[in-house]
Amino acid sequence: MNLQESGQMYLETILILSEKNPHVRSIDVCEHMGFSKPSVSRAVGLLKSGGYILVDKDGYITLTDMGKETAQKIYDRHSVLTEFLTSIGVDEEVAAQDACKIEHHISDESLNAIKRTLGK
């Protein structure tokens, strides 16, 4: 399954929520992302069938190893891009929003150059 940008965003959100609380449900994702229940339910179904998440009988979502690796990669990209943009004078909130847009499309080569610039 080739994960679309929206799927990547869902995985990143599940990762962030699971770091705050190990019991993540679809409603938590809805509230965090501001999406409707049907939209999140569809996405959860696709992520589950793609092997990125598991959903237990009580509705709790956990990332599989593949899901966690994918989510961590996106989250790391977001963090590096946010740090880079703020380092060149972009407001932190704007930098975070822009990083979210860029993180799904930036090449590994460009990201690695940014990391070198930041000394990472």
Determine contact, residues 72/12, Cβ cutoff 8 Å: no
> pLDDT at position 63, please?
97
Question: Which pLDDT band holds residue 104 (cuts at 50, 70, 90)?
Answer: confident
> pLDDT at position 2, please?
62
- Mean pLDDT for the stretch of residues 77-100: 95
Mean residue pLDDT of the chain comes to 93
- Please give the share of the chain, as a percent, with pLDDT higher than 70: 98
Report the distance separating Cα 21 and Cα 5, nearest Å. 24
pLDDT value at 58 more than 80? yes
User: Domains of the chain (ranges plus CATH)?
Assistant: 5-65 (1.10.10.10), 70-118 (1.10.60.10)
pLDDT in tens, 21-51: 989 999 999 999 999 999 999 999 999 999 9
Q: Whole-prediction pTM value?
A: 0.85
